[in-house]
A and B are shown apart, each in its own frame.
Chain A
C-alpha cells in the first residue's frame, strides 16, 4: 500500500476505524464503475455517515495531499468513479436519507446516496415526481446524477439534472462546506451551481441537494410504432418536431436492439422490423389528446407497419421496460459490448447511423442502436467477443463513433460523461484554450488537483501523445464558427 499507516489513522480519526476499509480484497469491490474495462484498486475506501464526516475526510486529503474519488452507486458508464492509485474512494452510500419532501413548493432535499427512483417514490403520495429518469434510475444515486448531469428518456421535454437541481451543498477540495444555488431559479451572482452540475466529481463532493419535483401529468399517451426503415422513423421525428410538438420522449431502436430487448423482457416489440419508435406525450388531457392524434397521423403518413398504443399503465410500463432493458439485454446476443453516448444534431441521425453501420462493417463488428431520437443522443452498442480477441477493435470502433459525432457537429457525450473513457478525445471537441479555461475553473475550486484527478481532461499519462495538436472543429472548418 502506498498510503502509509499515519494517513490511514488520520482517516480513522476523522471517521471511525470501522468506516475505513483498507483490506485489499474489500477495496477491490470499488475498483471500477460501470465501465469495467478500467480498474484501479484504491488504497482505502471511506464510508462517511454524514456531510461533516465527508468534510473531515476531505480535510485529511487536503492536509496530506491524498487524491480522492467520490462514488455513488458506481453505475456510471464513463469511468468517472474510477479510483486513482495512491488515493482513496469516498463513498456517499451511507448519506442516503431523504431529508424533506415539500409538496407545497414542490421540492425535495436529499442526501447524495439516495437513489434517483426513491425520490420519485417518496414524492408519489403527493402526486409529484422527480423528472430526470436515467435507465439505471432504480440503482443510480442523485449524487452520481449531479456529477454526470444525467439525462434519461424524458429529458427532451423536461431537461436534464441541471434543470432540476436548484442547490447543492458541496464539500470543496479543502474540506470546507458551501452551498451553491438557491431555493429558486433566481440567484445573486454567477451560477456556480451550474458549474458543479456535470463536473464529474472534479470540483468537490456533493453532500446534499435540493431538487425540483414536478406534478405528475394529468394524461400520458404512449405509442410504439414499427417502420420499414430508420430513415422513415427519422422523418416521423422531424415531422413531429416541425409540428411544434415537444414529446415527453421520443426513442428509436434498430433491429438488433429490438431483438435483444424482446428476447430479454418480452415487451411486445416486433422482432425483425428495421426500426421502432416510442413516442410519449404528456400534459393536460385536452392538449395531450389533440397532439397524440397528430403524432399518430404522422406515423401513418410515413408508412408505419404497426402502431401499438399503450392501453393501460401496464402496457406503457412494458414498452418502457423493453427500452430501458436494452443495454443489458444486448448481453444476450453478444458476450461483450461497449456503450457509446455521442450526440449529433437530430437532423443528421439517419446520416450518422449509415456511417456507423459502415464503420461496423469495416471493423467486422455488429453495432446495435438505441437512442434518444428527439435530442440526437445516440447509444450505439458495439458488440464483440473478448475471448476472440476483438476488444481492441471494439474499443477503436467505439471511440471512433464518439469522435464521428463531434465531426458531425455534435458532442462526445450526451449524458454518460467524459470520465476516463473519453478524456483523450476531448481535444477533438475543444481547443487547448477551451480546455485551459475549464482548467482555470478547476484550479479555482481545487488548486491541488486532488478531486477526482485524471477525469474529463486529457493527461499525457492517460493519453500518451494523443492529445497533441488541435484540429479544426468541423463547425469551424465549414465556416459556421470562427476561431481566432
Chain B
C-alpha cells in the first residue's frame, strides 16, 4: 500500500523531530506493524516513519514502580526486562506476543482481558513525549503515578492511530506480577456464561479476568498470593458448578514467556482436573491465522488467537454496556469472538460484508466499534456513526496537524 514511500527510521528523539520538521507531505507512523490494517484504510503517503529503532528503557525505578521507555520498544521485550523485578505493565492485549510496540499499543488503545481490573493503557500511562507534525516536541504528565499538572496529552493520542502526533516516549505505571495465578474454565454458551458472570461479579471473588470465547468456554482468572489461591479457586469453582475445571498452561498469557516463577502452577498446587480444551478450539478457531503462540492447553493463548481473529474475514472491536453484550453478539454473524463479560468489550470476526451492519447494531445498542482487520485492501467501513464530539476531534486534529499529514484516511469519514 505504501511501497513507493520513503522509509524514515529515526534513531532518537532528535531524528524524529528532524524527520517531521524537514519533510512535508503525508506520512504514516508505523511500529511493529501488528495493527497496520486496523481502523481506516491508509491513503497513499510520501513517507513512513518507522519507530522500531526507538527502543529501550530510559529509566526504570523499581522502588517507584514506574518505567520510561522509548515508544518503539516491544512490550514483550519490556516485560522480559522487568521480570527480574517481578513487575510488569498490566496490559495483556492479544498482539503483544506478536511484537506490538508500546507506542503502537497506546496509539490503538488496545487492551486485553486484564482490562477488567486494570483498564487499558490509558489507565497506566503517566507521561508521554509527542512529536507533532511540525516537529514540535511536547511532554505531558511526568514520572510519578499521581499528577494532575497540565493537560493529559497521553489521552489525546490514546486511540489516535497515528493521526495526531508521533509517540516518542512513554512513561508507565507498573504493577507487581502476581505471585500466583490460576484460570478456571467452564464449558458453556454465551448466554450461560453471562448468567454465571453476573453471579461472579455480584460476589466477592474479584476475578482478574472474566472472558467468554467462541469455543464455548468461560475463562475466569484469579491472581494473588500463593497461600490464598487454593481457597479462592475452590470458592470460584463452587460458584461455577461441577463442570468448571482448572485450566492448564500459565495463569496468564502475558506472563507465559516473561515473569519467571509467576505462572499459575505454583499456587494451584495439586489442582485436579485437566483442561477442557479438546474439540472447541479447533472447531471455532481452526481457520484463524497467526495463532503461532496458541499453545494447545493455554486458554489465554487460545483467547489471544481468537481475538486476533481471521484476517481473511473482518475483525471488529466492540464496546457496549456489559449487560447488553450477549444479546448484541447473538444478533451478529459471529465467526469467532472473545467477550469480556465484565468489561463489555468484545472482539468479533465476521464476514467482510457484514461490517456495516455490525457498526449499525453496536451503535443502536449504545456502543462503540472500530474495524480491526480486513481482507487485504478491502474497502470496508472502519467506523460507526461519528460521536457527538467529532467537531472537537477535528479541531484537535487541525491544531496538531493543520496540513493533515499524519495517517491520512485512518479516520475516514470522521476526519
Give A contacts to B, CB under 8 Å.
102, 104-106, 127, 148-149, 151, 155-156, 159-160, 162-163, 170, 172, 176-180, 182-195, 197-199, 215, 217-218, 238, 241-242, 244-246, 283-287, 289-291, 343-347, 372, 375-377, 409-418, 422, 426, 429-431, 433-438, 440-445, 456, 475, 480-484
B331 located at the interface, meaning its Cβ lies under 8 Å from any Cβ of chain A in the complex: no
Partner of B368, one of A187, A409, A414: A187
Query: 3 nearest interchain CB pairs?
Result: A186-B319, A194-B155, A218-B204
With known contacts A290-B228, A418-B148, A438-B153, A484–B137 Cβ distance under 8 A: yes
> How many residues from B make CB contacts under 8 Å with A?
97
User: What is the minimal beta-carbon distance from B258 to any residue of chain A, in angstroms?
Assistant: 15
Chain A neighbourhood of B232, CB < 8 A: 284, 286-287
B280 interface residue (CB < 8 Å to A):
no
**Which residues of B, 141-180, contact A by the 8 Å Cβ criterion?**
142-160, 164, 169, 175-179
Known interface pairs A189-B387, A189-B393. Does A241 touch B147 (Cβ–Cβ under 8 Å)?
Answer: no
Please name the residue on chain B nearest to A294 by beta carbon: B225
What is the number of contacts between chain A and chain B, taking CB atoms within 8 Å?
302
Q: How far is the CA of A104 from the CA of B202 in the complex (A)?
A: 8
- B149 A426 Cβ-Cβ under 8 A: yes
Q: List the A side residues contacting B160 at CB < 8 Å.
A: 189-190
A170 neighbours in B (Cβ, 8 Å):
389
- Is A180 a contact partner of B389 (Cβ separation < 8 A)? yes
Partner of A433, one of B136, B322, B393: B136
Structural contact, A482 and B153, CB atoms closer than 8 A: no
- Residue of chain A at shortest CB distance from B345: A186
Which of A155, A172, A188, A285 interacts with B159 by CB under 8 Å?
Answer: A188
A172 near B392 (CB under 8 angstroms)? yes
> Do A484 and B395 touch (CB < 8 A)?
no
| Bound Cα distance A159, B115 (Å) | 14
Among B13, B146, B175, point to the contact of A160 (Cβ < 8 A).
B146
Residue B17 at the chain A interface, CB threshold 8 Å: yes
Chain A positions within 8 Å of B164 at CB level = 190
Those of B100-114 within 8 Å (CB) of chain A: 109, 111
Cβ A291 vs Cβ B225 within 8 A: yes
Q: Would you call A410 and B344 a contact (CB within 8 A)?
A: no
Residue contacts A-B, CB under 8 angstroms, 10 given: A179-B387, A190-B155, A194-B152, A195-B156, A244-B177, A411-B148, A429-B150, A434-B138, A437-B140, A481-B58
Contact B109 A187 (CB under 8 A): yes
Task: Write the chain A residue with the least CB distance to B371.
Answer: A188
The answer to whether B156 touches A287, judged by C-beta atoms less than 8 angstroms apart, is no
Whether a CB of chain A sits under 8 angstroms from the CB of B243 is no
Query: Which A-chain residue is minimally distant from B370 (CB atoms)?
Result: A188
Cross-chain contact of B150 among A372, A415, A434, A482 (Cβ < 8 A): A434
Which of A172, A176, A195 gathers most chain B CB within 10 Å? A195
* Cα–Cα, bound, A290→B86 (Å): 19
Residue of B nearest to A177 (CB): B388
Q: How close is B83's CB to chain A, nearest CB, in angstroms?
A: 13
**A163-B123, A443-B399 in contact; A105/B323 too (CB < 8 A)?**
yes
Within 8 A of A (CB), among B349-386: 366-370, 383-384
Residue B320, interface by CB 8 Å: yes
- Asked whether, in the complex, the Cβ of B155 is within 8 Å of the Cβ of A195, the reply is yes
Q: List, in ascending order, chain B residues with CB within 8 A of A245's CB.
A: 176
In the bound complex, residues from chain A placing their C-beta under 8 Å from that of B23 are none
From B44-52, B64-72, B185-193, give the one contacting chain A. Answer: B64-72
Bound-state Cα–Cα, A215 to B414, Å? 37
Q: Would B149 and A411 count as touching, CB distance under 8 A?
A: yes
> Which residues on B sit within 8 Å (CB–CB) of A283?
206, 224
Task: Decide if B63 touches A188 in the complex (CB within 8 Å).
Answer: no
User: Would you give the 0/1 interface string for B388-408, flagging 1 where the beta carbon is closer than 8 Å to chain A?
Assistant: 110111011011100000000
A127 to B369, CA, bound (A): 31
The answer on a CB contact under 8 Å between A188 and B384 is yes
Separation of A374 and B389 alpha carbons in the complex (Å): 37
Contact yes or no, B142 A410, CB < 8 A: yes
Q: How far is the CA of A183 from the CA of B136 in the complex (A)?
A: 34
Which residues of chain B have C-beta atoms less than 8 A from A198's C-beta? Answer: 148, 151-152
Residues in B with CB closer than 8 Å to A238 are 63
A128 CA / B118 CA spacing, docked (Å): 18
The reply to whether A182 and B150 contact each other, CB–CB distance below 8 Å, is no
Q: Is B73 an interface residue when CB atoms closer than 8 A count as contact?
A: no
- The residue in chain B whose Cβ has the minimal distance to the Cβ of A347 is B63
**Residues on B with beta carbons closer than 8 Å to the beta carbon of A286:** 227-228, 231-232
Residues of B within 8 A of A195 (CB): 151-153, 155-156
- Contact indicator B387/A188 (Cβ below 8 Å): yes
A441 and B396 within 8 A (CB): yes
CA distance A193 to B399 in the complex (A): 18
Query: Do B143 and A372 have beta carbons less than 8 Å apart?
Result: no
Contact B391 A186 (CB under 8 A): no
Residue among A191, A246, A376, A426 with max Cβ neighbours from chain B (10 Å): A191
Residue contact A189 to B414, C-beta cutoff 8 Å? yes
Residues of A close to B393: CB separation below 8 A = 189-190, 192
In the bound complex, do residue B368 and residue A184 qualify as a contact, i.e. CB atoms below 8 Å apart? yes
Q: Apart from A188-B369, A438-B151, A440-B400, what are 13 other A-B pairs with CB-CB below 8 Å? A: A127-B202, A183-B344, A185-B119, A185-B120, A246-B175, A284-B235, A286-B231, A344-B144, A410-B142, A426-B149, A441-B396, A444-B392, A482-B14
CB distance from B125 to the nearest CB of A (A): 9
> Does A183 contact B320, Cβ atoms closer than 8 Å?
yes
Of the candidates A188, A218, A372, which one forms a contact with B146 in the assembled complex, judged by CB atoms under 8 Å apart?
A372
- Compute how far the CA of A104 lies from the CA of B323 in the bound complex, rounded to whole angstroms: 7
Q: Decide: A411 and B132 in contact? CB cutoff 8 A.
A: no
In the complex formed, the residue of A with least CB distance to B86 is A244
Q: Quick check: A284 and B392 within 8 Å, CB to CB?
A: no
Q: Are B122 and A191 in contact (CB under 8 A)?
A: yes
Q: B344, A186: Cβ atoms under 8 Å?
A: yes
A372 → chain B, closest Cβ, in Å? 7
Among B148, B235, B323, B392, which residue has the most Cβ atoms of chain A within 10 A? B148
Complexed CA–CA distance, A182 and B323 (Å): 15
CB distance from B229 to the nearest CB of A (A): 8
Are A444 and B169 neighbours in the complex by a CB distance under 8 Å? no
Which residues on the B side are within 8 Å of A176 (C-beta)? 391
**Which listed residue, B63, B64, B159, B399, touches A191 by the CB 8 Å rule?**
B159
Using an 8 Å CB-CB cutoff, how does the interface string of B281-300 with A read, 1 for contact, 0 for none? 00000000000000000000
CA distance A159 to B392 in the complex (A): 27
Contact, CB under 8 Å: B345 / A437: no
Q: Are B227 and A184 in contact (CB under 8 A)?
A: no
In the complex, are the beta carbons of A430 and B150 less than 8 A apart?
A: yes
Take A244-B177, A287-B225, A433-B137 as given contacts and tell me if A179 and B158 are in contact as well, using a CB distance cutoff of 8 Å. Answer: no
Decide: A162 and B152 in contact? CB cutoff 8 A. yes
- B238 at interface by CB-CB < 8 Å: no
A residues in contact with B201, CB < 8 Å: 106, 215
Contact assessment for A445 and B225 in the assembled complex, using a CB-CB cutoff below 8 Å: no
Chain B residue nearest to A244 in the complex (CB): B176
Q: A409 to B132, Cβ gap below 8 A?
A: no
> Is residue B244 within 8 Å, beta carbon to beta carbon, of the partner chain?
no
A411–B58 touching, CB < 8 Å: no
Minimum Cβ distance to chain B for residue A298 (Å): 14
**Given A180-B389, A287-B225, CB of A149 within 8 Å of CB of B144:** no
Question: Which chain A residues lie closer than 8 Å to B145 at the CB level?
Answer: 156, 375-376
